[in-house]
């Protein structure tokens, strides 16, 4: 009877890996980098508390999202995931503008051919593409001045107020 290999967390923390170790199911010993990054950003103690507050069936997803956020923060210590959010918002805004122009063009064409015909009634599901779907309570503005590659993010475009650094 040999002891089971300690999970990546217990290896890094240099402690005995208990049978009911909360980390073991999500941080296998063959992927030490995964826990190392999460520990660096959040801390083992905080991750443990977060997992303990969650039902077991949600913990795997929570770990995946924590790993994602930790990776983003290590790659970009200033903006973390917010850099990606801002970049994607701008991409969506640009595409929505192109879509609005294309819809206007098709409307012109259709009205030239058949003035009575209209593309979508106001309550048609496709009309939502011209609206901002983002959760309003997170107070994110859809317009911004972001150039993701050189990280010149203007924070007021995300938080809706002017920050003086």
Partner 1 sequence: MISGRCAACKNQRRKCPSDCIFSPYFPPNDPERFACVHRIYGSSNVGKMLQQIPVHMRAQAVDTLYFEARCRIEDPVYGCVKLISQLHQNLHDTESELARVQALIAFHKLQITQVELHQPTLDASQSSIEQFQNPWFIN
Q: List residues binding partner 1 (CB under 8 A).
A: 40-43, 45-46, 50, 53-54, 58, 61-62, 65-66, 68-69, 73, 77-85, 88-89, 91-92, 95-96, 98-99, 102-103, 105-106, 109-110, 113, 126, 129, 133-135, 138, 140, 153, 155, 158-159, 163-165
Q: What is d(CA 57, CA 61) in angstroms, rounded to the nearest whole number? A: 8
The smaller minimum CB distance to partner 1, of residues 33 and 91, is found at: 91
b/e 13-33 (16+ beta carbons within 10 angstroms → b):
beeebeeebbbbebbebeeee
C-alpha triplet 38, 41, 44: angle, nearest 5°? 55
Q: Minimum distance between the CB of residue 3 and partner 1, rounded to whole angstroms?
A: 31
Q: What is d(CA 64, CA 121) in angstroms, rounded to the nearest whole number? A: 41
Q: Minimum distance between the CB of residue 7 and partner 1, rounded to whole angstroms?
A: 21
The smaller minimum CB distance to partner 1, of residues 27 and 42, is found at: 42
């Amino acid at each position: 009877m040999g002891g089971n290999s300690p999970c990546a967390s217990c290896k890094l923390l240099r402690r005995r890996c208990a049978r009911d170790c909360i980390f073991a199911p999500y941080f296998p010993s063959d992927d030490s980098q995964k826990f190392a990054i999460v520990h660096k950003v959040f801390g083992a103690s905080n991750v443990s508390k977060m997992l303990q507050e969650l039902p077991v069936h949600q913990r795997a997803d929570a770990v995946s999202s924590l790993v994602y956020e930790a990776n983003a923060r290590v790659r970009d210590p200033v903006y973390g995931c917010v850099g990606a959010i801002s970049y994607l918002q701008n991409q969506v805004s640009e595409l929505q503008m192109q879509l609005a122009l294309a819809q206007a063009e098709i409307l012109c064409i259709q009205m030239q051919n058949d003035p009575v015909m209209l593309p979508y009634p106001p309550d048609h599901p496709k009309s939502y593409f011209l609206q901002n779907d983002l959760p309003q309570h997170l107070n994110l503005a859809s317009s911004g001045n972001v150039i993701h590659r050189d990280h010149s993010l203007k924070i007021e475009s995300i938080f809706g107020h002017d920050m003086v650094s």
